[in-house]
Structure 1
Amino acid sequence: MNIQTGVPRPSTQAEDFLEDLVEDLQVPVSRIEQAERSYKSLGGWLHRPNSTVRDLDPNVYVQGSFRLGTTIKPLNDQEEYDIDSVCEFGRVGKGSLSQAELKRRLGVEVEAYRRSQNMTKPMREGRRCWVLDYADGAQFHMDIVPAVPNGRDTRLILEARRMDPRWAATAIGITDNEVWNYMIVSDDWPRSNPKGYADWFRSRMAVAFARRKQRLAESARASVEDIPDYKVRTPLQAAVMLLKRHRDMMFVDRYSDRPISVIVTTLAAHAYAGEETIAGALLSILSRMEAYVGRTNDGWLIPNPADPLENFADKWGKHPERARAFFEWLGAARRDFGQAAVLLERKTIADQLAGSIGHGAAHRAEARRSLDAPRPGLLRTAIVPPAAASATPSFGSQARVPTKPRGYA
């Protein structure tokens, strides 16, 4: 036990076990490459010579957990990865057309793309996006959010409120068919900033990331520039993955109450203090997460670091059961990981965590290596998407019925 903080001191066996557990939870490289090919292929389609939106300079990029490197495998083969992407049109502004018109114009091209790829499932419309459902074997669907640049206006708003505008340059305006002005031309669009959020998240682990990349370069006798980012996985990324799997298991039958991934990720990144090991980071984060949950006269406050006017906990006021669920989960995660962290045998650790992270995952992690031959966690492959060799996706045409995605950030 760390007397100053009250955080258990993890055993070497527990640290090794958690490294192997994270390796089991990470997304296979083949899945990552499929996802990257899909949004790059769509981006190429939007820039083809006869595209109806080519002149608007569409730029398709991934957001959410795939961008952060914190995606985990679904709980089972029936669930799908939710690939969140943005199509940002660089040559159109909020005052040029309505949200509805921008979304319609993108929808025409997405539908044409779907047909060109012989995708059997119809395109679906979400509140803010279009959804493409890929076939069996792919095990994912892709949300495409139409957007326009909004950095200047976001900076002015934040500066006027004396809030931090540091990440505002990459802010975007997005479409939302439930807002009052969706059908009319207006300068008031819903705001988002996935690039800014990702930059903030990376800033929280920048020192650990640089150290690990340097060590990898030295071990490979290569330059730092030769080591791709996806080869590096930081303790913060690993801790978020573990927390999300624990959350998923705890709320498997209470999905609407589960703490949303962006809240888990944001609080973990705030609480991370540069710890060098996964177990150390996880236990330290769990001990401090609560400190970054604020209270206001209207309820609870967890600001978006990239846009402090957005409150990730804004639903907790109308749904107090969600706030209760968060603190219930936090207490359970502290207990489960804290008890496992001090154990000295892999089987005992696996048995301790099996109920909270899944029996299959726990016992696969137990079997990954013997205690006599631990592998350096530094050389693990991260889940940040690697560069893909091809821009054309290769998926089957068999229909797949998607289930509710289990993650966002």
Structure 2
Amino acid sequence: MDTIEQMLSMLLDGAVETLDISPHLQQLAVERYEEVGTWLAEHGEPDWRIYPQGSFRLGTVVRPSTRTGEYDIDLVCRVPRRKENITQAQLKQLLGDMLHAYLRWKNRQGHTDGPKSCESRRRCWTLEYPDHGFHLDVLPTIPDIEHPPTGILLTDQNLREWQHSNPIGYADWFKRRCEQGRSLVEAKRHLNVADVPDWTVRSTLQRIVQVLKWHCMLRFANDPDNRPPSILITTLAARAYRGEQDLFTGARAVLDGMTSFVENRHGKWWVPNPAHEEENFADKWNEYPERRLAFIAWHRGIVTVLDDLAGLQGKGLQVIASRMSESFSAGPVFKSVESYGDRMRHSRETGALRMTSTGLLTTTATTGPRVRDHHFYGEHPDPRR
């Protein structure tokens, strides 16, 4: 590549691509989600609506580094009730009863492709699909009539007040920040079950978010309570993004600017949901100050990592890969290095690899001497030999 930044962009992109949800698993998850959603829409109360939210909707999924490595797919079930007419506990139980009824229906039908269990969590119900490597978290919600048309109110068994959110508005905002139009999956399904966006080609911003989430996930593998929430990282990254097309350059620019979007409102740390100002993605910082310090330490750490990598110009592919694997998973990194090496070998063998006027290797230069084939891929020869 012409520059160290371009090389690092390709290596990071190739590595994080291995952590992305595969097209096959994506389609399987969509099928399971659509079946659950259609069943709820047909057997629940009139006008129930089901749609995806979070990284599955945003196209920023990263495979967890846990033993099971299950993908977490978040869904919203919006029940058309007013908060004056139902409590959080009643709403949570209402959806839970319906999901358990769905599970019983699957078993009676003799279907083996249904969830293995339905478990209650703090805010949602989790449908487990361990044989397929993912689970569905179904969140019970009601409309937030003070923030139409897409605002919702969430249940939380640990909090007395209803919690505000707006996943649809947020996804629309993030999509605009990606600065690319995307098509929706076109398939026949129940009208009350919303489509899953088709992110078959990731934008630079999506890849930046995946890289940041990946590093954060690994850093806090043994301290999940203090791990910065994905939505916090995603929001700050999207706010700081300025349309850079190069992944590595964009990631460094985002890291340089993202902390400037953390507000302090009357002594409280605040990162507002861009689609709903009353939702604060940094609310836990005010309750647990150590979590803010953990975010600062993570941010400082990944900035240092990228700065170190940028300083490895001319050190060779293996040196760069070794340094990268110290802060990211070695497996994905070396898979990416292998792909990169194959690409460079192919370019060399076909005569496409040339030397630029600056002495850097490139596959894009139309002028300059062709580079002879050699056998030290990714390493520089010792000039003393």
Smaller-chain TM-score bracket: 0.7 to 0.9
- Residue among 60, 63, 71 paired with 2:53: 63
- Residue among 281, 286, 291 paired with 1:317: 286
Contact 2:41 2:50 survives alignment (8 Å): no
Q: Does 1:353 align with 2:353?
A: no
Q: Does 1:173 align with 2:153?
A: yes
- Residue among 18, 22, 34 paired with 1:24: 18
Q: Which whole-Å deviations, capped at 9, do the CAs of 1:3-39 have from their partners, x for residues lacking one?
A: xxxxxx8533222212212322211112211221121
Contact 1:263 1:312 survives alignment (8 Å): yes
Distance in 1 between residues matched to 2:12 and 2:242, nearest whole Å? 19
Secondary structure class of the residue paired with 1:276: coil
Distance in 2 between residues matched to 1:247 and 1:348, nearest whole Å? 23
Distance in 2 between residues matched to 1:250 and 1:65, nearest whole Å? 19
After TM superposition, give the deviation of residue 364 of structure 1 in Å.
1.1
| Letter aligned with residue 156 of structure 2 | D
Equivalent residues in 2 for 1:82-161, closer than 5 Å: 82-89=72-79, 91-118=80-107, 121-136=116-131, 138-150=132-144, 152-154=145-147
| Letter aligned with residue 126 of structure 1 | R
Equivalent residues in 2 for 1:7-406, closer than 5 Å: 10-48=4-42, 51=43, 53=44, 55-89=45-79, 91-118=80-107, 121-136=116-131, 138-150=132-144, 152-154=145-147, 169-180=149-160, 189-206=162-179, 209-210=180-181, 229-342=198-311, 343-344=313-314, 345-370=316-341, 371-373=344-346
TM superposition score normalised by structure 2: 0.78
Secondary structure class of the residue paired with 2:62: coil
Distance in 1 between residues matched to 2:235 and 2:298, nearest whole Å? 16
Change in 2 beyond 3 A, CA 1:18/1:37: same
* Higher deviation after alignment, 306-315 or 295-304: 295-304
Q: CA RMSD in A?
A: 2.4
Greater RCO, CA 8 A, separation 6+: 1
Distance in 2 between residues matched to 1:29 and 1:259, nearest whole Å? 28
Q: Which whole-Å deviations, capped at 9, do the CAs of 1:108-144 have from their partners, x for residues lacking one?
A: 22001112233574421122222211232x1222111
Aligned residues: 323
Change in 2 beyond 3 A, CA 1:231/1:28: closer
Contact 1:316 1:323 survives alignment (8 Å): yes
Specify every segment of 5 or more residues in structure 2 that has no aligned partner in the other structure, as ranges.
108-113, 184-196, 353-385
Contact 1:114 1:132 survives alignment (8 Å): no
Distance in 2 between residues matched to 1:373 and 1:270, nearest whole Å? 39
| Letter aligned with residue 142 of structure 2 | V
Contact 1:43 1:58 survives alignment (8 Å): no
Whichever of the two has the greater Rg, that structure is: 2
TM superposition score normalised by structure 1: 0.73
Distance in 1 between residues matched to 2:4 and 2:235, nearest whole Å? 24
Q: Percent identity?
A: 36
After TM superposition, give the deviation of residue 331 of structure 1 in Å.
0.9
Distance in 1 between residues matched to 2:104 and 2:126, nearest whole Å? 14
Contact 1:246 1:356 survives alignment (8 Å): yes
Contact 1:128 1:177 survives alignment (8 Å): yes
Specify every segment of 5 or more residues in structure 1 that has no aligned partner in the other structure, as ranges.
1-8, 155-167, 182-188, 214-227, 376-409
Contact 1:302 1:313 survives alignment (8 Å): yes
Q: Which whole-Å deviations, capped at 9, do the CAs of 1:281-339 have from their partners, x for residues lacking one?
A: 11110111111112234332211111112221121123221111111111111111222
In structure 1, the partner of 2:193 is none
After TM superposition, give the deviation of residue 229 of structure 1 in Å.
4.5
| Letter aligned with residue 63 of structure 1 | Q
